[in-house]
Amino acid sequence: MKKVLFLFVFSALSFCAMSQTSEKKVEMKDVRKDLKEIKKERKDRNADLKAGNTADAAKDSKEIKKDKKDLAKDAKGLKKEGVKHPIKRAEKQIRRAK
């Protein structure tokens, strides 16, 4: 009986630990995606400014601002989960993937 209880407790603990790591991975993937979107939108905004489309550039600037807020929110959540420097880490992961 003691062995069964011991086995059950440690299997529950290992399951909880595995589920936590997958959340971090999903959130880091979201941060990487947000960084890529911001970079793409900046390029679009700069192209619009060169072409003289200030209205389109203003829309792109608002989208960039929204994405930055989302990125900061995700980074704050990752910091609470124990990830050190999530934005820098995500930028490094993007560069390594290329």
Q: Binning pLDDT at 50, 70 and 90, where does residue 1 land? A: confident
H-assigned helices in the chain: 2-51, 54-80, 86-97
What does pTM read for this prediction? 0.73
* Percentage, residues of the chain above pLDDT 70: 88
Question: Which is nearest to 90 in space by CA: 36, 28, 43?
Answer: 28
In a domain, 15, yes or no: no
In a domain, 14, yes or no: no
Q: How many domains, in total, are found in the chain?
A: 1
In a domain, 71, yes or no: yes
In a domain, 2, yes or no: no
Q: Is the dihedral of CA 76, 82, 85, 87 positive or negative?
A: negative
What is the phi-psi region of residue 83: left when phi exceeds 0, alpha when psi lies from -120 to 50, beta otherwise? beta
- Residue, of 6 and 48, whose pLDDT is higher: 48
Where in the sequence is the domain holding 76, given as residue range(s)?
22-97
